[in-house]
């Protein structure tokens, strides 16, 4: 049977340019990353997701790719990529890479050939129109920054389509030659050891296929998985797809399409719940989650390299989250999101950050962590658009934090200014030495999540505790059961665990994190949760518990 390793994986996402600079040029690189894999392994992550590291003019953090078969010279060479992959393998770490094929850079040779020779090999590799469509100002992804989705190219004398920025022309996925090239790209990185791909902008990739009469655009996802499974049977496809739950069947298929999809709607409900200090937004959503095929999985997360997209919340709900976590207009982006890191949003309260992490790890799916959030790193709001959360990693309290020996003025992005989130107060070295640090807490939680395989393999049953601020989830798989409880409120409370645990069962604490479990002779068990407290319980038959 194929190893569905991603079901119980913990994915650590990072940007090579922000992690560690080994050669003193102010830009993180593959050698620096390889030399610091011990940190990721010690945290407990099992897989690394690398943001784009390909050659690029870097107008959009590398998502404007100029060569799909290379490494940006700032990060190293293809040989150093192979060295990094071997170093990751030696530590038991898998690696997935970004597959960015909705668009390329305007500088890509394919686009330059397409605009120069409409009748040539690459003439229809992009989406062109002799007339500017009437709806060119509709459907922009970056409101307030992007004005249109169609731009005139003087050389070709036509308009080209770009769902994103005008320097990112959309590839014509309806062209079989383009789809063949995408498979070639996948095969190349699989051959170099990748365990799968994070598919950027998955829904937009399918748009062009709608134009082919009689074609089911979602069938292309089956085509991708078929090729992937042929080349590497255990590789996975993780999609960036902000879909509603009624679309899950189209994207997962019968297990023959995508393996993992980021659950963006759940992420939005999670921040609404945190803003209110109430469980209902999350618990109500979880009760309506659709059934998935065996190989299917949700991806859960708190923050990532983009803004928090609140676009699927009701306007009043979105405003609640804005008011709680990004009230200043400078903290908001594209009329829909917040461009801050987790710790500053939660007021730097490590109890609350730890609780949010614990909750994310307990949700049904595969957890994905944005680098530095395990330390409670802050953001640099002086940076433009989505860059505030992409600040250099803070390794130690000395000098400028250990990311690079270069003058910070030459860094790929400036460090966080002096303040409570600067490297003097938030850094890996100090937290790894401190058993009470946020890093140490999240390290324990990740190890616990990996031990509780029930969460990755089963749906979550929402348990009513009678407390509006408590999210209680029970996961059961192959005879095992785990109960997790999280208090979203800023006040302590006590819960009667009897109904939650179930008749004939008892709970054995796995964590004891700001929680106290008391059971009397009559079998009543009360759990006291501190403000923002949480607890994980292994449920066992009462007789077995008593015997132990």
Catalytic residues: 200, 240
DSSP 347: T
The angle subtended at Cα 332 by Cα 329 and Cα 333, nearest 5°, is 125
List the structure tokens of 113: 């050939």
For the chain, what is the total number of helices (H) and then of strands (E)? Answer: 19, 21
Going edge to edge, which strands form the sheet with 332-333?
308-309, 337-338, 332-333
* Three-point CA angle 83, 84, 88, nearest 5°: 120
In residues, how long is the chain?
A: 548
Q: Is the sign of the CA dihedral 128, 130, 134, 137 positive or negative?
A: positive
Sign of CA dihedral 539, 542, 543, 548: positive
Q: Report how far residue 21's alpha carbon sits from residue 12's, in angstroms, rounded to the nearest whole number.
A: 19
DSSP 8-state assignment for residue 336? T
Reference 295, options 243, 247, 260, 262; nearest CA is 260
Query: How do 480-487 and 525-541 pair as beta strands?
Result: antiparallel
How many C-beta atoms surround the C-beta of residue 244 within 10 A? 9
If you ran DSSP here, which 8-state letter would residue 55 be given?
A: S
* Residue in 90, 73, 368 with CA at minimum distance from that of residue 240: 368
Report the distance separating Cα 202 and Cα 221, nearest Å: 9
Helix (H) / strand (E) containing 197: strand 196-199
- 3-state secondary structure at position 153: strand
Count other Cβ atoms within 10 Å, centred on residue 433: 10
> In terms of Cα–Cα distance, which of 443, 526, 530 is closest to 488?
530
Provide, for the chain, the percentages of residues in helix, strand and coil under a 3-state DSSP scheme, each rounded to the nearest 5.
35, 20, 45
453-481 b/e (C-beta count within 10 Å ≥ 16 → b): bbbbbbbbbbbebebebbbbbbbbeeeeb
For residues 55, 393, 88, 198, the Cα torsion angle rounded to the nearest 10 degrees is -60
Distance separating alpha carbons of residues 33 and 87, to the nearest angstrom: 10
Helix axes 219-231, 176-191, angle to 10 degrees: 30
Nearest C-alpha neighbor of 392 from the set 427, 420, 419, 357: 427
Q: Alpha-carbon distance 407 to 264, whole Å?
A: 38
């Amino acid at each position: 049977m194929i190893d569905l390793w991603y079901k119980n994986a913990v994915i650590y996402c990072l940007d090579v340019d922000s992690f560690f600079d080994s050669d003193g040029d102010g830009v993180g690189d593959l050698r620096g990353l390889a030399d610091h894999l011990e940190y990721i392994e010690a945290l407990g992550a099992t897989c690394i997701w690398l943001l784009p590291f390909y050659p690029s003019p870097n107008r959009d953090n590398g998502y404007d790719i100029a060569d799909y078969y290379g490494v940006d010279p700032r990060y190293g060479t293809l040989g150093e990529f192979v060295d990094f992959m071997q170093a990751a393998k030696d530590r038991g770490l898998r690696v997935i890479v970004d597959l960015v094929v909705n668009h390329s850079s305007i500088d890509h040779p394919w686009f330059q050939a397409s605009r120069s020779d409409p009748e040539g090999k690459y003439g229809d590799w992009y989406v062109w129109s002799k007339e500017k469509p009437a709806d060119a100002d509709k459907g922009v992804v970056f409101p307030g920054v992007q004005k249109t989705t169609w731009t005139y190219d003087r050389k070709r004398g036509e308009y080209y389509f770009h769902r994103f920025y005008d320097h990112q022309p959309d590839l014509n996925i309806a062209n079989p030659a383009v789809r063949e090239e995408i498979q070639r790209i996948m095969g190349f990185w699989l051959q170099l050891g990748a365990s799968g791909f994070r598919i950027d902008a998955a829904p937009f990739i399918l748009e062009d296929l709608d134009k082919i009469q009689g074609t089911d655009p979602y069938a292309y996802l089956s085509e991708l998985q078929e090729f992937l499974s042929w080349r590497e049977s255990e590789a996975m496809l993780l999609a960036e797809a902000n879909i509603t739950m009624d679309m899950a069947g189209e994207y997962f298929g019968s297990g023959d399409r995508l393996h993992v999809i980021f659950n963006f709607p759940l992420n939005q409900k999670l921040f609404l719940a945190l803003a209110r200090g109430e469980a209902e937004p999350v618990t109500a959503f979880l009760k309506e989650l659709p059934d998935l095929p065996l190989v299917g999985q949700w991806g859960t997360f708190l923050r990532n390299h983009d803004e928090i997209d609140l676009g699927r919340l009701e306007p009043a709900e979105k405003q609640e989250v804005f008011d709680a976590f990004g009230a200043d207009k400078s903290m908001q982006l594209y009329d829909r999101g917040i461009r801050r890191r987790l710790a500053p949003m939660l007021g730097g309260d490590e109890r609350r950050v730890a609780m949010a992490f614990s909750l994310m790890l307990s949700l049904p799916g595969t957890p994905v962590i944005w680098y530095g959030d395990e330390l409670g790193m802050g953001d640099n709001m002086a940076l433009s658009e989505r860059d505030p959360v992409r600040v250099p990693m803070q390794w130690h309290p000395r000098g400028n934090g250990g990311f690079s020996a270069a003058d910070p003025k030459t860094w790929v992005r400036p460090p966080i200014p002096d303040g409570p989130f600067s490297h003097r107060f938030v850094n890996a070295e100090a937290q790894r030495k401190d058993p009470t640090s946020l890093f140490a807490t999240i390290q324990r939680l990740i190890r616990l999540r990996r031990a509780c395989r029930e969460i990755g393999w089963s749906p979550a049953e929402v348990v009513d505790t009678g407390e509006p601020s408590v999210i209680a989830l029970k996961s059961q798989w192959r005879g095992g059961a785990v109960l997790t409880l999280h208090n979203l409120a800023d006040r302590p409370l006590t819960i009667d665990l009897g109904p939650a645990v179930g008749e004939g069962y008892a709970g054995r604490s796995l964590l004891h994190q700001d929680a106290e479990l008391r059971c009397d002779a009559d079998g009543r068990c009360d759990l006291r949760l501190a403000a923002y407290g949480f607890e994980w319980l292994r449920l066992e038959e009462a007789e077995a518990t008593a015997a132990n």
